[in-house]
Structure 1
Amino acid sequence: MTLAKFVDKLPIIRTIKPKGRMDGVPYYQMRIQQFKQKLHRDLPETTVWGLEGNYPGPTIEAKKNQLIKVEWMNELPSKHLLPVDTTIHGAEPNKPRVRTVVHLHGGVVQPDSDGYPDAWFTNGYREVGPEFKKKIYDYPNMQRGTTLWYHSHAIGITRLNVYAGVAGAYIIRDPAEKRLNLPKGKYEVTLLIQDRTFNDDGSLYYPCEPKPPIPNVCPSIVSDFFGDNILVNGKVWPYLEVEPRKYRFRIVNGSNSRFYRIGLSSSQPFYQIGTDGGFLESPVIAKKILIAPGERVDVIIDFSKLRGDNIVLTNNAPSPFPRGNPVNLTTEGQIMQFRVSKYLTSYDYSTIPYRLNIIKPLYERDARLERYLTLVRETDKYGRAFLLLDDKRWDDSITIKPLLGSIEVWTLINLANSTHPIHIHLVNFQILDRQPFDVEHYKKTGKILTTGPAVLPALNERGWKDTVRANPSEITRIIMRFVPYSGLYPWHCHILEHEDHEMMRPYEIIT
């Protein structure tokens, strides 16, 4: 189905207010629901999942170092909106089809508020009691001001729940940011980018083709999924009317598998000021920015000299990335449109400061140990391709047990044929370098034979990260300190089809 572009206004995601106070701190209620929503002018209303009647869900804003509580409530029906593959781990026939648990991606939280994949809850149907309809999580916000996002994280069906619509933005505001004089108020906009495919009746399409055929089973696990329509804030190819001035955009890649290498049709640059874990030290000027699933970028676009112009936010990342099909420039090659059509309502006093932040490096000499971890492609018992971390599955014994407070270097050895965005819960890390190596030599000997020099991360990756792109035929080294909590957390590929099919492992921080 081919839909017209730039006929719907970009929805501005509302910011939710606290419901009240609980134990003396702000308390939010977030009901996960099924409802209908208009996603494009020419589509019938689409049945989606979302929160508080919105897809994407409303934005939660919190102040740095201010504890809040969020009650996540499952009000979904017992039938899933999409085909559930009961052949994969965590979604077996004896499990409820509709399960949720919410993870605050990038959040520094205790294990029992992290949204552990096995900590799912239902709407009280089947044998599960009403006490499992909701969970209250504590978010202390003791971390740098930044853009996080929340999304469903239930084992075996994360890709389906997020695709159905269970996702939204979460912003931590640092009062010290005011001195930077960045664009703010209506000139600061969150852009949650996702891709979807629709059936003729406007319903969401997700593949259910047995490959290879499995008797009496309609699986929905595929190695990747790429929708042929790009949505921003829940609208297909929307437009945003802007004034001829500077705007700040907090961009989240909320797609299941799709990478975006964004640019502007005007050939002007972005001024990137932040990444996953907050501000960079200084703005990075770039005409293209690559964003993997789960990553966030914070950019300023200056429209001051473009009065009357229409500018398209473009994408030229192949799918799968980086060796997949080239972008169709008439569909996924376009994301949204900016129309510099509004009058300047007041003088633009905002600035793009030279210095944003001080980032203290972590040093390899302080690392307690270096772990060598492989990203491998295997075949499951049905002959389907699936990806693993260190050749292990979710339920295998825990092999990574860092000491609380210790520093480690993780060397990610990508033996597969695509880039994997690796997300580690709880911690922020720094990227040390990437280096090409001989994959076949490693497979034969288990030893790394490098084939070129180590390369430092791109300038816009030299900040705090929680998701890193591990490229094929490269080793990617990251360094992190395991603070401030002990306990059990996951790490996984953030291509959701990979995560759901065993490319996820627990690790345990011990004391």
Structure 2
Amino acid sequence: MMKNKGIWVGLVLGVVLFLIGFWVFFSGGPSDLPEDPGSGNGGDSALQALPIPELLEDENPEAGIASYNLVARHGTMNFFDGVETLTMGYNGNYLGPVIKLQRGEEVHMKVTNELKEPTSVHWHGLEVPGTEDGGPHQPIASGGIWEPSFTIDQPAATLWFHPHVIGTTATQVYYGLAGMLIIEDENSQSLGLPSEYGVNDIPLILQDRSFNDNGSFLYYDNMMDGAFGEHLMVNGAITPYLDVKPIKIRFRILNGANARNYYLQLSDGKGFQQIASDGGLLEKPVEKEGLFLSPGERAEIVIDFSSYDDGDVVAFKTGEEEIMTFRIGGDREDPSTVPETLAVIEKMEESSATGIKTIELDGMGHMVTLNGRQFDMDRIDDNVVLDDVEIWEITTTGRMMMGTTGHPFHIHGTQFQVLSRNGAPPDPNEQGWKDTVFVGVNETVRVIVQFQHKGVYMYHCHILEHEEAGMMGQLEVK
């Protein structure tokens, strides 16, 4: 009898936890916070123009060699009029500059930590030796300096950088430590794509944040699905606008949220072209009416505004929520083009794989696991032979109502190709290079991957709260 009573108590508790998580997921945070950013939180949020991050200056005049300085520091921002928020940023108060690199370039970074706590800088999507990756094994103490060097040997792509230190990755990203990294190559520069930075080539870093009444960040860690914010932000501004000419505009989009998935659409239902995924250009443009991005994923799209009249306004939205608005007007001259062929992608053959590995993502909140275990810095979970090709089968389980939102899965130090989702071929926009892939509940995604640098690398869920709770492993390439 006592045994049956225990089972019933466990079931009831499980249902209650599920319903709480379900409510928080769809409400985005505590219900007593104002929904309209202009209605409270200590001040009004005036309609803001989209901030465009500055390009970080290369301090080395020598051709083929680039030197950059990054400083992680504390700052303040006025997300709402008259209200000051304590933040973190790279070389500024919130977020960081865009670092633009060229394939074949020798790069020297100097990262200074002016925070009051340790940090690190992970080059998400960059194929570099493990010692230069910026993961948990390369912490930078408060007041310390880290000076990694590497050569860019991968195709043009939109990547990013963010902290990856054990215990504070999620909060440091939430407070503002993130930035975009762009690689160009001869092919990308020869296509005639929109490429004038800040004019027709625009970075969009998508985030969500909640605030206390005094303007400070409210970091609300949803026990099931990670930290969701109540207000949607782009490049550090709440629902901003961008004035665009009626021409083709290229947007480099990063889902830089801790946990939120985005499904991006134009409010009038018109479509756009996706030209790149995480690791670079697709073979051909893909016509899309909506774009799904989970945390850590990137995409490049081109929106053709030439069909709009001067004075038209169209919103970018996710679900029913507006992310930002485009205000159309001005000169219609447009020399850019989107060619029918963008890149040649050499497909990795399954027959070349040396083996198949299984990854199982399970649990919720602080009870998450990867292959039944939680992360241990002192344990190598997998050994890989340099240049070997492997197939990974990644599954999100649905046991005991856990894993309710699926998991974005990221592998450090490499790019991979998606082979299938539950046995079906991937959609055309997932047939390029990837380093982060969303794995839905009770779904198995097969990827083929090759590690071309030595070192220790992480692989993990990119819901940052899940990563920190232990849904992460590490492999060593020898």
TM more than 0.5: yes
- Cα contact 2:366–2:466 (8 A) shared by 1: no
Q: Give the secondary structure class of the aligned counterpart of 1:58.
A: coil
Encode CA deviations 1:353-384: one digit per residue, 9 max, x unaligned: 11101111111111100012211217xxxxx6
- Cα contact 1:191–1:251 (8 A) shared by 2: yes
Q: 1:390 aligns with which of 343, 368, 371?
A: 371
Q: 1:360 aligns with which of 329, 335, 346?
A: 346
1:24, distance to aligned residue in structure 2 (A) = 8.8
Q: Give the secondary structure class of the aligned counterpart of 2:307.
A: coil
Q: 1:3 aligns with which of 32, 37, 46?
A: 37
Partner of 2:290: 288
1:56, distance to aligned residue in structure 2 (A) = 1.5
1:471, distance to aligned residue in structure 2 (A) = 1.1
The yes-or-no answer on 1:420 pairing with 2:396 is no
- Cα contact 1:163–1:256 (8 A) shared by 2: yes
Encode CA deviations 1:298-348: one digit per residue, 9 max, x unaligned: 0000111112211110102xxxxxxxxxxxx3xxx21100010x311x611
Aligned counterparts, 1:338-417, within 5 A: 338-340=326-328, 342-344=329-331, 347-377=333-363, 385-395=366-376, 397-415=379-397, 416-417=403-404
Partner of 2:160: 149
TM-score normalised over the length of structure 1: 0.81
Identity of aligned residues (%): 36
- Paired with 1:339 and 1:6, the residues of 2 have a C-alpha distance of 16
Counterpart amino acid of 1:467? Answer: T
- Paired with 1:11 and 1:34, the residues of 2 have a C-alpha distance of 19
- Paired with 1:70 and 1:119, the residues of 2 have a C-alpha distance of 14
- Paired with 1:54 and 1:299, the residues of 2 have a C-alpha distance of 28
- Paired with 2:104 and 2:369, the residues of 1 have a C-alpha distance of 36
- Cα contact 2:64–2:106 (8 A) shared by 1: no
Counterpart amino acid of 1:366? Answer: S
Structure 1 residues 152 and 397 mapped into 2: Cα distance closer, same or farther (>3 Å)? closer
Structure 1 unpaired stretches of 5+: 79-97, 125-132, 209-219, 317-328, 379-383, 436-453
1:479, distance to aligned residue in structure 2 (A) = 0.4
Partner of 1:508: 476
- Paired with 1:206 and 1:198, the residues of 2 have a C-alpha distance of 8
Counterpart amino acid of 1:334? Answer: E
1:352, distance to aligned residue in structure 2 (A) = 1.4
Partner of 1:48: 87
- Paired with 1:139 and 1:231, the residues of 2 have a C-alpha distance of 32
Partner of 2:7: none
Partner of 1:217: none
- Cα contact 2:381–2:473 (8 A) shared by 1: no
Encode CA deviations 1:165-209: one digit per residue, 9 max, x unaligned: 11000101113223211112111100001000011121111137x
- Paired with 1:120 and 1:254, the residues of 2 have a C-alpha distance of 21
Partner of 2:130: 111
Q: 1:335 aligns with which of 323, 342, 345?
A: 323
Counterpart amino acid of 1:191? Answer: L
The yes-or-no answer on 1:201 pairing with 2:201 is no
Q: Give the secondary structure class of the aligned counterpart of 1:304.
A: helix
The yes-or-no answer on 1:180 pairing with 2:148 is no
- Cα contact 1:109–1:138 (8 A) shared by 2: no
Q: How many residues align?
A: 429
The yes-or-no answer on 1:309 pairing with 2:329 is no
Q: Which moved more, 1:305-314 or 1:176-185?
A: 176-185
Partner of 1:432: 419
Q: Give the secondary structure class of the aligned counterpart of 2:382.
A: coil
- Paired with 2:446 and 2:120, the residues of 1 have a C-alpha distance of 30
Encode CA deviations 1:35-77: one digit per residue, 9 max, x unaligned: 112224x35132110011142200111111101111111111x
Q: Give the secondary structure class of the aligned counterpart of 2:340.
A: coil
- Paired with 1:285 and 1:257, the residues of 2 have a C-alpha distance of 27
Partner of 1:445: none
- Cα contact 2:54–2:97 (8 A) shared by 1: yes
- Paired with 1:38 and 1:405, the residues of 2 have a C-alpha distance of 48
Structure 1 residues 482 and 173 mapped into 2: Cα distance closer, same or farther (>3 Å)? same
Structure 2 unpaired stretches of 5+: 1-33, 39-44, 398-402
Q: Give the secondary structure class of the aligned counterpart of 1:198.
A: coil
Q: 1:480 aligns with which of 426, 431, 449?
A: 449
Q: 1:65 aligns with which of 87, 100, 104?
A: 104
1:505, distance to aligned residue in structure 2 (A) = 0.8
- Paired with 2:83 and 2:366, the residues of 1 have a C-alpha distance of 36
Partner of 2:113: 74
Encode CA deviations 1:241-267: one digit per residue, 9 max, x unaligned: 011111000000000000000000121
Counterpart amino acid of 1:460? Answer: N
Structure 1 residues 397 and 315 mapped into 2: Cα distance closer, same or farther (>3 Å)? same
Counterpart amino acid of 2:253? Answer: I
Q: Which moved more, 1:412-421 or 1:183-192?
A: 412-421
Encode CA deviations 1:103-153: one digit per residue, 9 max, x unaligned: 0100111111101214212224xxxxxxxx110111311111110000011
Structure 1 residues 241 and 270 mapped into 2: Cα distance closer, same or farther (>3 Å)? same
For the aligned residue pairs, the C-alpha RMSD in angstroms reads 1.9
Structure 1 residues 22 and 348 mapped into 2: Cα distance closer, same or farther (>3 Å)? closer
Partner of 2:462: 494
1:413, distance to aligned residue in structure 2 (A) = 2.1
Counterpart amino acid of 2:268? Answer: S
Partner of 2:400: none
Counterpart amino acid of 1:256? Answer: N
Structure 1 residues 497 and 22 mapped into 2: Cα distance closer, same or farther (>3 Å)? farther
Structure 1 residues 23 and 356 mapped into 2: Cα distance closer, same or farther (>3 Å)? closer
